[in-house]
């Protein structure tokens, strides 16, 4: 049976796309860019469980883009080990929940990796631990050269801490997003002692969406998990003493035995494909055996074949929102976690969370109007599409980010970093008094 891939149109997609369009245009061209963003967002909010495609035909008529059939290889699974519900918990008190910044300060650098086989060059943002008190220049996240949002705390190209090696976590952005779209998470995770690498998925970023060069969904679904595996490979070559183009000496700071993949929306699809494999007409996506665990934020999975979902055997956590109309819990989270054969399987539903509760879109809403010469129309676009994460009826964004960091970092600490005590924060008892969420353990 063919796999139908419908690429989610995220509010962050429209936001960044409109930003670039307005900044690079004037007069009627700028108005057309904003009008186009308005139309796309209307399609997003009215599709419900249906994902809108970056392909023009798909967004017009709602038709699914056909991607390749699945393989029998992905279906070859072994019997699952004992589930988390019966696993013995560690002794001792639970650690402090990682809702705040960790013990390290944070550095950020950027690099690009090439894949000659796919004629593809991937730019990557990387956050990493630096020693407390390190001085340097604050990093910025640039939409284009004239419009930037400052990093929360990260310093640009600061020297990496010598306290490693550190576990490696890949972050995969949503469809039409950017590598830095969830800096609330990537910066915080780095402060807890991780190297965090986020590729910009060529053919599926905001810039390509607005200039009309976005790839078709089938090609996107094929390239994304290969991108994440490529980044792992390139970084691990550096950890083995190979050459890396880093001024901050990241290579030897990475532990090749501790690796996780995280992702938002289509980034969740990407992480699942890394863990479960996927066969496409363009080629097979092999299970990346180096990945120890995956964490999904508002994942897009309803287009994934059962064989892929059932092949997921590493620990998995999914966190999503009850008000998510783009990738609803009922279609994209619960079925995927019910199908996974993981020994540890956690689903966290945030009461009042929206699709953009797991991104920085509300921060853009605050900062962009303060930038000189940003057109008023653009600010209106931000306000309109930030409703997926910042609306008054939704969970306050700071609370959503706090809970995301608390549970995702606890999960990664337990199943990637190897600190078993953090499993104590992923129990019914640990959340018994918290009415903002529902935890399901399978």
Label residue 337 exposed, middle or buried (CB < 10 Å: 0-12, 13-18, 19+).
Answer: buried
pLDDT digits (tens, 9 = 90+) for 292-342: 999 999 999 999 999 999 999 999 999 999 999 999 999 999 999 999 999
Please give the residue that has the higher pLDDT: either 141 or 47: 141
E-assigned strand segments in 84-217: 105-115, 120-130, 138-144, 147-156, 166-172, 195-199
Q: 230 lies in a domain?
A: yes
Q: How confident is the model at residue 62 (pLDDT cuts 50, 70, 90)?
A: very low
pLDDT > 60? residue 68:
no
Q: Identify the pLDDT of residue 371.
A: 79
Q: What is the spatial distance between Cα 250 and Cα 232, in angstroms, rounded to a whole number? A: 13
Transcribe 376-417 into DSSP letters. Answer: HHHHHHHHHHTHHHH-TTSPPHHHHHHHHHHHHHHHHIIIII
Q: How confident is the model at residue 86 (pLDDT cuts 50, 70, 90)?
A: low
User: What is the rounded average pLDDT of the residues 266-291?
Assistant: 95
Q: Identify the pLDDT of residue 183.
A: 97
Q: What is the spatial distance between Cα 171 and Cα 345, in angstroms, rounded to a whole number? A: 19
pLDDT > 90? residue 438:
yes
Q: Identify the pLDDT of residue 308.
A: 97
Which pairing describes strands 316-321 and 293-297: parallel, antiparallel, or unpaired? parallel
pLDDT > 80? residue 30:
no
User: What is the rounded average pLDDT of the residues 45-74?
Assistant: 36
Token pair, residue 358, equals 């797991």
When mean pLDDT is compared across 9-18, 78-87, 202-211, 410-419, the lowest value belongs to 9-18
Q: 320 lies in a domain?
A: yes
Token pair, residue 248, equals 């901050």
Please give the residue that has the higher pLDDT: either 442 or 210: 442
pLDDT digits (tens, 9 = 90+) for 221-245: 999 999 999 999 999 987 766 555 5
Q: What is the spatial distance between Cα 169 and Cα 195, in angstroms, rounded to a whole number? A: 6
User: What is the rounded average pLDDT of the residues 136-155?
Assistant: 88
Q: How confident is the model at residue 66 (pLDDT cuts 50, 70, 90)?
A: very low
Q: How confident is the model at residue 58 (pLDDT cuts 50, 70, 90)?
A: very low
Q: 116 lies in a domain?
A: yes
Q: Identify the pLDDT of residue 45.
A: 35
Q: What is the spatial distance between Cα 53 and Cα 62, in angstroms, rounded to a whole number? A: 8
pLDDT digits (tens, 9 = 90+) for 92-136: 999 999 999 999 999 999 999 999 999 999 999 999 999 999 999
Q: What is the spatial distance between Cα 262 and Cα 166, in angstroms, rounded to a whole number? A: 16
Q: Identify the pLDDT of residue 64.
A: 35
Q: Identify the pLDDT of residue 59.
A: 33
Percent of the chain's residues with pLDDT above 90: 64
Q: 83 lies in a domain?
A: yes
CATH of the domain at 217: 3.40.50.1820
Please give the residue that has the higher pLDDT: either 287 or 242: 287
Q: 41 lies in a domain?
A: no
Q: How confident is the model at residue 246 (pLDDT cuts 50, 70, 90)?
A: low
Q: How far is CA 184 from CA 101, 244, 363, 420, in A?
A: 10, 27, 10, 25
Label residue 300 exposed, middle or buried (CB < 10 Å: 0-12, 13-18, 19+).
Answer: buried
Q: 59 lies in a domain?
A: no
**Domain tally, the chain:** 1
Q: How far is CA 331 from CA 122, 243, 335, 354, 376, in A?
A: 31, 44, 7, 15, 37
pLDDT > 90? residue 359:
yes
pLDDT > 70? residue 160:
yes
pLDDT > 80? residue 209:
no
Q: Identify the pLDDT of residue 252.
A: 84
Q: 436 lies in a domain?
A: yes
Q: Identify the pLDDT of residue 9.
A: 40
pTM for this model (two decimals): 0.82
**Region label for 47, one of left (φ > 0), alpha (ψ between -120 and 50) or beta (otherwise):** alpha
Tell me which residue range forms the domain holding 98. 73-359+397-441
Q: Identify the pLDDT of residue 385.
A: 66
pLDDT digits (tens, 9 = 90+) for 341-353: 999 999 999 999 9
Q: 247 lies in a domain?
A: yes
When mean pLDDT is compared across 30-39, 197-206, 243-252, 366-375, the lowest value belongs to 30-39
Q: What is the spatial distance between Cα 151 and Cα 413, in angstroms, rounded to a whole number? A: 24
Mean pLDDT, the chain, as a whole number? 82
Which pairing describes strands 437-441 and 65-69: parallel, antiparallel, or unpaired? unpaired
């Amino acid at each position: 049976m063919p796999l139908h891939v419908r690429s989610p149109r995220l509010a962050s997609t429209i936001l960044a796309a409109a930003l670039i369009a307005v900044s690079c245009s004037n007069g009627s061209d700028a108005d057309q860019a904003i009008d186009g963003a308005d139309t796309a967002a209307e399609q997003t909010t009215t599709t419900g469980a249906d994902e809108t495609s970056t392909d023009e035909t798909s967004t017009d008529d709602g038709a699914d883009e056909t991607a390749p059939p699945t393989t029998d290889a992905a279906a070859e699974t072994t019997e699952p080990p004992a589930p988390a519900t019966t696993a013995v918990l560690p002794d001792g008190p639970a650690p402090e929940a990682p809702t705040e910044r960790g013990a390290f300060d944070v550095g950020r650098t950027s690099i690009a990796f090439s894949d000659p086989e796919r004629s593809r060059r991937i730019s990557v943002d990387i956050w990493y631990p630096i020693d407390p008190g390190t001085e340097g220049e604050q990093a910025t996240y640039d939409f284009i050269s004239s419009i930037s949002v400052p990093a929360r705390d990260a310093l640009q190209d600061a020297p990496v801490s010598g306290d490693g090696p550190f576990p490696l976590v890949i972050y995969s952005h949503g469809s039409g997003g950017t590598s830095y779209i969830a800096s609330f998470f990537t910066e915080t995770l780095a402060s807890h002692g991780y190297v965090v690498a986020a590729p910009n998925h060529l053919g599926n970023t905001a810039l390509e969406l607005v200039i009309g060069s976005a790839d078709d969904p089938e090609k996107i679904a094929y390239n994304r998990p290969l991108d994440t595996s490529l980044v792992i490979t390139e970084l691990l070559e550096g950890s083995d003493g190979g050459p890396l183009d880093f001024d901050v000496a990241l290579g030897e700071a990475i532990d090749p035995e501790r690796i996780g993949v995280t992702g938002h929306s289509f980034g969740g699809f990407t992480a699942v494909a890394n863990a479960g494999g996927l066969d496409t007409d363009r080629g097979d996506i092999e299970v990346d055996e180096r990945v120890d665990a995956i964490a999904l934020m508002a994942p897009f999975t309803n287009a994934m074949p059962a064989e892929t979902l059932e092949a997921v055997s590493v620990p998995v956590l999914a966190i999503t929102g009850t008000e998510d109309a783009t990738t609803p819990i009922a279609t994209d989270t619960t079925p995927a976690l019910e199908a996974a054969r993981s020994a540890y399987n956690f689903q966290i539903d945030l009461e009042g969370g929206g699709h953009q509760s797991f991104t920085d879109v509300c921060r853009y809403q605050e900062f962009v109007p303060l930038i000189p010469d940003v057109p008023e129309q653009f600010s209106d676009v931000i306000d309109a599409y930030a409703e997926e994460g910042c609306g008054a009826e939704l969970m306050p964004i700071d609370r959503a980010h706090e809970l995301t960091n608390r549970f995702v970092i606890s999960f990664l600490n337990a199943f990637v970093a190897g600190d078993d005590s953090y499993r104590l924060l992923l129990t019914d008892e640990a959340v018994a008094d918290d009415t903002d969420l529902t935890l399901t353990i399978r």
